[in-house]
Structure 1
Amino acid sequence: MRQFPLEMHHMAPGRVVEWRLRSTAGAQSPGPDGADGTADRRASFNQDKHFTVAEESRAADDPTASWIAVTFEVAGPLDEDALTGSLLAFVRRHEVLRCEFRRLAGELACAPIPAAELALDTVPVADFDRTEELTRFLVERFKRSIDTLSWPLFTMGAVLREDSATVYLAFDHIVCDGMSMPIVVQEVERGYEALRRGELPDPAPAPSYLDFAEEQRSRYLSIDEHDERLGYWKEFMASGDGEFFPRFPLELGVEPGRMYSIVNEASPLLDAAEAEVFEKACLAVDGKPFMGVLAAVAVCLREAGGPGVYRGFMPVSERGRAGWGNSVGWFVNTMPIEFDASPGRDFEQVMASVRAGFGEMIGHLDVPFVRAWELLAPREFAARSWPYPVNFFSYIDMRKCPGAERHEDWRPTSHVWSAQANGACSWFQRDAEGLHMNSIYSDTPAARRTMDGFLEALRETVREIARHGSFRRPIALTPPRRPALTPLDVAAFARRG
């Protein structure tokens, strides 16, 4: 399973149907205690900030939009009744997907619709004869249908053919994160298979993200800027001239206060065999593969003109801290990390610095990012976006996600999109096919040049580590522009190897 732009998905055409979610309670609005008499729940810090930005953007007639989507394959003629039942069971199982968000006395409240009151309607959409037309439709469909301020907060559909189907689900970030996508695939696929066998999907509700949010707010809503738990953040800011956000150190050609349309690109860095050797090189110096990628990123940024000390943001999943391993939600805390990648340090030394920096970061994971942002950088918190290009690194080993043992059959892919950006974000994924990179960045000439050079330098650096276990050769700072990327045939890459 890998992440890349939906526009790169070479999806075979067919007949598109969608499943529209509705409440059987009709137009009756939930009362102050919720639709079923239960109390409204409080949104998480991530959700509250995300919703606030959407409200303010709508008011300013400058909508900020984004979505996270997943696609996967079903072999053979589709049993529409079985897929309908599986999708409905999936939505009923995860409370956050049944929520309507609204302002109550200034706070963002979640009003869960009772699972038994939900129904799905199957709606024929259109027939497509060409892949390009289908892809354009899906891209526009996700943009139009995902609205942070309107329920439901996701869309579901499938492309049907005589001998196969591609299922798709697209979500607003307010109800899920990237690690939710493998959970979506596993639950819907296994539920479908169960119903095809005449069995029922798991009826038990998943541990709720709303409980996670409630616990988080109870613990951290009352803290102030003097709380000792903010010490790690304050030290990070002190080492960066008092700035809360670590700057992306290379030139992107963006103007302060301005947002830009995006470039969304993806490219392989290592094939499966190279990724295995790369992992061994990392283990040989007492590190992990994600640490090796982060070390390579730091060295490439430094060689391209960045500082010797790497400073960046890193999303960290909080699912493992309790029983939310198979729950859908936004279980991400964004944390700062800092380590030494100065000139003259070899691979083992940089890896030791990464390991120490990561260990220090994990030891201070408790304070939610949005709460730290609000307390320590209130002026920036009031804005609708991060103030300038921010250094951001994300890594997921998809082989360790729920259902990974069936990914060759299901051929899942994930996709992210944002309407605008004022910087660059990169996500790295390891799967059975190797190591891959997906980047979203501002569409400026300078950013295209910078990201082209960064990609080529990074690819060469991780290959050097795989070949020699070190940064052996000088990194090219002015590489030739890479060739145009071609659409990915998902069925083909799943069959390779």
Structure 2
Amino acid sequence: MHVTTIDRFRPESGELLTWSVDSSDATPQRSRIPLSFNQGIHLAGAGEHSTWLAAAFRVEGPIDRHALGLAYHALIVRHGTLHSSFVKCGDTIVREEFDPLALRLAATPGVRVTSDVALQQVLWAALDAACHPFGFPAYLLGAIDRPDSSTILCGFDHSHVDAYSMSIIVDDVHRLYHGFRRSPELFAAEELPMIGSYVDYCAAEAETTEISSSDSRLLSWLHFFDQHDGHPPTFPLDLGVREGGTAPQGADVRPLLGPSETEEFADFCRRNGGSVYAGVLSAMAQAVNRLGGGPQLSLLFPMHTRRTEPWRNAVGWFTTNAPIRVDGTDDLCTGLQRTGPELRRAVRLGDVPIARVIAALGGFTPIRNDIFMVSYVDYRNLPGADLHDEIDAHHISNVTTADDAQFWISRTGRGLAVRSRFPDTAVGRATVGEFLEEVRTILRTAVPTARRVAVVTPLDGGDGPLRAPSAGASRR
């Protein structure tokens, strides 16, 4: 999976196709199911810029428009959140649900674009217009049609999807499209794995068992915030934006380690009691310390909540957050040996609903609009991963505005990479660039150490002790 941003996504020119969703025969029903915590925060802060995630992959030959229309309709029927929407009712936001079988899809007239640059701009504008947080639908269903090789592409407002969802959508649409293309009359979408609905998950989330005020996990959360004056921590290096200010978003996408280097780094992390994610966090803390940001890196990290079978292949925003403090020691081995256990303890804090934490704090107002965070996704473990390279699968995010730094670490068969968003100021660009280069240097320095240790130490199994902080998506 290529994890990138729309300003770096440059598909070959062709005819841009889109499908409209006609809901005139599907009267929306007001739902009693409340918004999830993530949806509530996202929709309350929805502004002029659309926060969306998109998925794209390649297919051979021109687009079979009938088959792709059937595939998109089946995708909507399959995932509950895609036949729901949000509307404002006075000072509140409510969910509405549509009967998916009453929805009709129709291909709209295509737009032929002869320039790659122009196509990128047309596509960007189309995604911004279609993937709005309110109303129905909140997504763009499309494709780029070409004679020899085409691109299927769809984007969704963040309220309905997370990073994990992008891989599920690629897998679902790929299988649905080719199934309907082979046999439009006989193929049954029910051949895909059974799933639950994210709307049902939201109902279950609302009924989560109350956490006692004396629960040690809640107390750990409160202690974390006490150490940061009741606010979420911010990125500790100067980004050139004053408190309360904002800037256009800068974006950076770069590799950190190649395939063999990543395998060796994973061995290095296992031998020191941690996962690859723990190793990256340790390297980031060390880089911050070297650059004058202090000896400890504090942050929130997203972790997915697809822990039981109904949700494993379901599209939705299945993420929560947990807090961690990482020591920025000069020795990566020592740092990792501390971070591994600390990360495992932090994962347990993710079982405490964030709404419960905020209530216990008496509410809080973040210093910045963005929350400084570091996400980790091992795309090799997600649905359809075995085909990602073959079909040139992409996870694409929008570029909007920013006032803090956020980092998405991705592991694929091509190795380890990072996508970043930050304020696009002269100071912000220089700071993030220097920080990422320092992180990459630290990681690559650890690889020769792993080689030396491997000569005398037998390999352990698995990919480290941490599984939960995977496929998180926070804001953008």
TM-score, normalisation: structure 1: 0.85
Measured after TM superposition, the shift of residue 145 of structure 1 is 2.0
Measured after TM superposition, the shift of residue 310 of structure 1 is 2.1
CA distance 1:362–1:210, change in 2 (3 Å): same
1:141 corresponds, among 85, 105, 126, to 126
1:111 corresponds, among 96, 104, 107, to 96
In structure 2, the partner of 1:486 is none
1:361 corresponds, among 334, 339, 346, to 346
Where in structure 2 are the equivalents of 1:294-443 lying within 5 Å? 294-343=281-330, 346-373=331-358, 375-376=360-361, 378-380=363-365, 387=368, 390-443=371-424
- Between the two proteins, what is the percent identity of the paired residues? 28
Q: Which runs of 5+ in 2 are unaligned?
A: 452-476
In structure 1, the partner of 2:10 is 10
Measured after TM superposition, the shift of residue 41 of structure 1 is 2.3
1:53 corresponds, among 34, 42, 45, to 45
User: Are the counterparts in 2 of residues 312 and 338 from structure 1 also a CA contact under 8 Å?
Assistant: yes
Amino acid at match of 1:51: L
CA distance 1:104–1:224, change in 2 (3 Å): farther
CA distance in 1, matches of 2:18, 2:359: 40
The alignment partner of 1:206 has SS state of coil
Map Cα deviations across residues 336-395 of structure 1 (whole Å, 9 max, x no partner).
Answer: 11232334xx222211211111111112222233552355262417xxxx5277431111
Following TM superposition, the consecutive aligned residue runs of length 4 or more in structure 1 with deviations greater than 6 angstroms are 222-228
In structure 2, the partner of 1:457 is 438
Measured after TM superposition, the shift of residue 243 of structure 1 is 2.9
Q: Does 1:253 align with 2:245?
A: no
Map Cα deviations across residues 156-196 of structure 1 (whole Å, 9 max, x no partner).
Answer: 10000111210111111100111100000000000111112
CA distance in 2, matches of 1:438, 1:114: 37
Q: Which runs of 5+ in 1 are unaligned?
A: 58-62, 471-497
User: Are the counterparts in 1 of residues 143 and 151 from structure 2 also a CA contact under 8 Å?
Assistant: yes
Once the two structures are overlaid, the 10-residue window that deviates more, 10-19 or 225-234, is 225-234
CA distance in 2, matches of 1:115, 1:388: 35
CA distance in 2, matches of 1:254, 1:435: 29
CA distance in 2, matches of 1:390, 1:107: 24
Measured after TM superposition, the shift of residue 104 of structure 1 is 5.8
User: Are the counterparts in 2 of residues 14 and 160 from structure 1 also a CA contact under 8 Å?
Assistant: yes
Amino acid at match of 2:223: E
CA distance in 1, matches of 2:244, 2:160: 28
In structure 2, the partner of 1:473 is none
Q: Does 1:281 align with 2:284?
A: no
Map Cα deviations across residues 41-83 of structure 1 (whole Å, 9 max, x no partner).
Answer: 22111111211222xx4xxxxx243111111111123211111
User: Are the counterparts in 1 of residues 145 and 151 from structure 2 also a CA contact under 8 Å?
Assistant: yes
User: Are the counterparts in 2 of residues 248 and 389 from structure 1 also a CA contact under 8 Å?
Assistant: no
Map Cα deviations across residues 288-338 of structure 1 (whole Å, 9 max, x no partner).
Answer: 211111111111111111222221111000012453110000001021112
In structure 1, the partner of 2:466 is none
Aligned length: 447
CA distance 1:426–1:131, change in 2 (3 Å): same
User: Are the counterparts in 2 of residues 175 and 330 from structure 1 also a CA contact under 8 Å?
Assistant: yes
User: Are the counterparts in 1 of residues 248 and 401 from structure 2 also a CA contact under 8 Å?
Assistant: yes
User: Are the counterparts in 2 of residues 99 and 111 from structure 1 also a CA contact under 8 Å?
Assistant: yes
In structure 2, the partner of 1:218 is 207
User: Are the counterparts in 2 of residues 23 and 117 from structure 1 also a CA contact under 8 Å?
Assistant: yes
TM-score, normalisation: structure 2: 0.88
CA distance in 1, matches of 2:318, 2:150: 30
Map Cα deviations across residues 95-137 of structure 1 (whole Å, 9 max, x no partner).
Answer: 1111121356865432210121111110123111121111111
The alignment partner of 1:268 has SS state of strand
Measured after TM superposition, the shift of residue 419 of structure 1 is 2.0
Q: Does 1:231 align with 2:223?
A: no
In structure 2, the partner of 1:444 is 425
CA distance 1:457–1:41, change in 2 (3 Å): same
User: Are the counterparts in 1 of residues 211 and 352 from structure 2 also a CA contact under 8 Å?
Assistant: no
The alignment partner of 2:154 has SS state of strand
Q: Does 1:206 align with 2:206?
A: no
2:87 corresponds, among 89, 102, 105, to 102
Amino acid at match of 1:426: F
